[in-house]
Amino acid sequence: MEEGLFFFEPFTADFARQLKVDKIYYQGKTKYQRVQLFHNRIFGKVLFLDGKIQSAQIDEFIFHEALVHPALITHTAPRKVLIIGGGEGATLRETLRHLSVEKAVMVDIDRKLVKLCQEHMPEWSDGAFSDVRTRLIFGDARRYVERTKQEFDIIISDLTEPLKEGPSVYLFTKEFFEKIFLALKEDGVFVLQAGGADPFYNQFFASCAKTLKDIFPLVRPYWAFIFSFSNPWGFVLASKKTDPLGLDEKEISKRMSSRGVKKLKFYHPGFHHGLFSLPVYLIKALKKGRILTDKKPFIWEA
């Protein structure tokens, strides 16, 4: 990758795109993944991990607001939140907007990546790492969830896609989701980013939803279009008790106001239900997902 040239992103063997590199901030490897961080005139700062786009300055707010706020708003009083992954710090940032949150634990396996994000992408975390409510832990998220004695109101999974030999493969399986269920309080809510929600590459999204339906009493898949991903993106909310579609606009407004959640750029009370409104092709795709297990996990074939 060189300045003035184009960065080639091989989305799959059948689809690729190119982004012009205006300035390079960092390129190299951590213990767990290959990191490329550069500036593009349209997208601003862009982060790639193992050749896959993770976040772009122009629209990271769409991804992170979509991931965080539907789940936290669904809960009546989220106080303890666990974030799995989320290296850039933006998921933590959005979580801490809710003044009801008293403690936010973020567990990420890649210390070097988090430090790189703090150094080169401080706009993403916007001071969240130094918030007194934050506890940052570097380690294996699966091991943490399996061993923790704490119970959380909300657990948010902001992980990389399950690439072969990548760090996230076994964090999208039934066995791990069962541990997530146990780590939640009786009215707890779990949400995860679940990959592409387009007409072709939707198998991961569908399989995450199907796997969670085998564990949680209430599962609501939803989506948002992410400009820098050039793709609609899937999320899945799984709840022990409360249905996000049971909230009306007035109640959502009340919860946001009481918690001091304001100045968002994507999510708002009138948009909450719209996120969960799926097109016919996704409704059909959800029926074709498979249950993901440790013996047969989903591995993204590039």
174 close to 180: Cβ distance less than 8 angstroms: no
**In whole angstroms, what separates CA 140 from the centre of its chain?**
17
Determine whether 50 is an active site residue: no
139 close to 109: Cβ distance less than 8 angstroms: yes
Report CA dihedral (157, 34, 62, 178) to the nearest 10 degrees.
Answer: -10
Report CA dihedral (12, 17, 21, 22) to the nearest 10 degrees.
Answer: -140
* Tokens representing residue 183 in the block: 């780590």
Give the Å distances, CA to CA, from 8 to 29, 48, 124, 281: 18, 11, 24, 30
Tell me the three-class secondary structure of 77-91, residue by residue: CCCEEEEEECCCCHH
Choice among 158, 198, 243, 248 that is catalytic? 158
222 close to 70: Cβ distance less than 8 angstroms: yes
Return d(Cα 225, Cα 207) in angstroms, integer: 20
Q: Active-site positions?
A: 158
